[in-house]
């Protein structure tokens, strides 16, 4: 369960990479207030360039339209037929009648392949990306800054091995999203190599894992809640209804834990006095389960809860990749529904992350 903590008043807690103290915001109202006030709560929390997520104000606004343009509706519609065989193959590779791990066996391989398909990256890179994800997970869990930095540097190397040949090839570069980004211009100038790498790092390093975890949540809830499975099967051909249902399952169990901010001035939020320079964490999973906003946090109410759902954030940094993430999740869900008559929870308590598929 990706729950950080129960919603409550802002609390002091260790929030920095070295355990420095800061504030944890867990109530829906507080998280929305902070995310919607980028002047007081800056996103410039890292010493590394982060385009667009670490930028504020005009600088953020300069890059954001370019980033948004990559997720436009017509682009997503063109991508859907390419994603479908990827999803179908990921589902077909699963054994039936025995426990399968929803994240390890389905979410992760599918998310990597879907991202490579979208960006125009070769299939041969998939094992490298999967190995990198495992190492990144281990490095983060170790809390060793040296190991984390080495893993980050390794990822930049992988990305540069894709962008540099495209930059060198100019007009002869392959016709794909990565080449388009390499050629993209912001306010009349080309992006620097560092900016291109930063954008691609953001689109891949964190988001492959997010999509993998989200796919796991959807599949496990489908197995654990017969009423949800009925709802999804009944609405199999209603894309909008499936999108809303997926969003609601991700609200109930939001695997995207938090984003960071730093206070630019003394301020008060939820009754807590936060000093300029203090760190703040926006705890999306707790906010998404705040009973003051949603009543019973486990109740499955896709239509009613949609306007307040924070899975993709809110405010100027709201997730630009939402159309892609939602498309990837819906397509793999549709393929799973089509390939099975029912999906059940694995029978043993050791297999909490596992489901059993019945054709
Ligand atoms: C289901 C998976 C995903 C979830 C739950 C998710 C969630 C979020 C959230 C909560 C934010 C807000 C961050 C903040 O306020 O600081 C965000 C921002 C962002 N997301 Fe996603 N995301 C997902 C998938 C994706 C994908 C697939 C992409 C791109 C390929 C993407 C790209 C971004 C970017 C670039 C930002 C920063 C936007 C900015 O700072 O203006 N996300 N995401």
Intervals of the chain under pLDDT 50: 1-3
Closest C-alpha to ligand 1, atom 4: 312
The CATH class of the 50-259+319-358 domain is: mainly alpha
Q: Within its chain, how far is the Cα of 95 from the centroid?
A: 27
Each residue's pLDDT tens digit, 100-134: 999 999 999 999 999 999 999 999 999 999 898 88
> What atom in ligand 1 is closest to the CA of residue 55?
40
Residue 312 Cα, ligand 1 centroid: separation in angstroms? 6
Q: What is the pLDDT of residue 17?
A: 59
Note whether 42 and 260 are within 8 A (CB).
no
Burial profile 138-166: b = 16 or more Cβ within 10 angstroms, e = fewer: ebeeeeeeebeeebeeebbebbeebbeeb
Per-residue model confidence (pLDDT) at position 1: 40
Which ligand 1 atom minimizes the distance to the CA of 50?
Answer: 40
Distance CA 49, CA 32 (A): 25
Q: Token pair for residue 111? A: 């998310």
Angle (deg, nearest 10), helices 207-224 and 322-339? 40
pLDDT of residue 2: 43
Residue 200: name the closest of 315, 110, 118, 111 by CA: 118
Which atom of ligand 1 lies closest to the CA of 255? 5
Take atom 21 of ligand 1 and give the residue whose Cα is closest. 319
| Burial degree of 301 (CB within 10 A; 0-12, 13-18, 19+) | middle
Residue 260 alpha carbon, nearest atom of ligand 1: 16
- Spatial strand order in the sheet of 21-25: 11-14, 21-25, 279-283, 258-263, 41-42
Residues with CB under 6 A from ligand 1: 35, 43, 52-53, 64, 67, 202-203, 207, 210-211, 214, 256, 259, 284, 311-313, 317, 319-321, 324-325
* Separation CA 50–CA 59 (nearest Å): 11
Cβ atoms of 339 and 359 closer than 8 Å? yes
Residue 318 CA to ligand 1 center (angstroms) comes to 7
Measured in angstroms, how far is the CA atom of residue 292 from the centroid of ligand 1? 25
Sorted by where each begins, the domain ranges of the chain are: 50-259+319-358
3 state SS of 283: strand
- Which ligand 1 atom is nearest residue 316's CA? 41
Q: How far apart are CA 354 and CA 216, in angstroms?
A: 9
Query: Residue 10 is encoded by which pair of tokens?
Result: 């802002």
With the most atoms of ligand 1 within 8 angstroms of its CB, the residue from 51, 59, 319, 327 to mutate is: 319
Rounded to the nearest whole angstrom, what is the distance from the C-alpha of residue 320 to the centroid of ligand 1? 6
Is residue 35 within 8 Å of residue 313, measured between CB atoms? yes
């Amino acid at each position: 369960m990706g729950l950080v903590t129960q919603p409550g008043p802002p609390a002091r807690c260790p929030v920095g990479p070295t355990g420095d103290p800061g504030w944890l915001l867990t109530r829906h109202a507080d998280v929305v207030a902070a995310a919607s006030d980028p002047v007081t709560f800056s996103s410039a929390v890292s010493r590394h360039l982060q385009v667009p997520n670490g930028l504020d104000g005009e600088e953020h606004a300069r890059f954001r339209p370019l980033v948004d343009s990559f997720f436009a509706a017509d682009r997503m519609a063109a991508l859907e037929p390419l994603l479908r065989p990827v999803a179908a193959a990921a589902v077909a590779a699963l054994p039936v009648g025995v426990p399968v791990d929803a994240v390890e066996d389905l979410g992760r391989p599918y998310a990597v392949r879907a991202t490579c398909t979208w960006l125009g990256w070769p299939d041969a890179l998939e094992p490298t990306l999967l190995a990198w994800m495992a190492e990144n997970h281990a490095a983060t869990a170790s809390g060793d800054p040296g190991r984390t930095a080495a893993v980050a540097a390794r990822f930049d190397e992988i990305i540069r091995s894709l962008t540099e040949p495209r930059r060198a090839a100019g007009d002869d570069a392959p016709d794909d999203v990565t080449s388009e980004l390499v050629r993209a211009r912001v306010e009349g100038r080309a992006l620097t190599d560092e900016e291109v790498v930063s954008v691609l790092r953001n689109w891949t390093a964190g988001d492959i894992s997010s999509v993998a975890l989200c796919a796991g949540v959807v599949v496990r809830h489908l197995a654990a809640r017969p009423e949800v499975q009925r709802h999804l099967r009944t609405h199999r051909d209603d894309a909008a209804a499936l999108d809303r249902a997926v969003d609601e399952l991700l609200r109930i169990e939001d695997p995207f834990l938090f984003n960071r901010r730093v206070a630019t001035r003394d301020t008060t939020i939820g009754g807590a006095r936060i000093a300029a320079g203090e760190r703040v964490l926006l705890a999306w999973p707790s906010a998404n389960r705040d009973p003051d906003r949603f009543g019973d946090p486990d109740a499955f109410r896709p239509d009613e809860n949609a306007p307040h759902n924070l899975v993709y954030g809110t405010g100027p940094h709201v997730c630009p990749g939402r159309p892609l993430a939602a498309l990837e999740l819906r397509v793999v869900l549709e393929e799973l529904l089509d390939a099975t008559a029912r999906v059940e929870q694995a029978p043993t308590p050791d297999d909490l992350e596992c489901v059993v598929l019945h054709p």
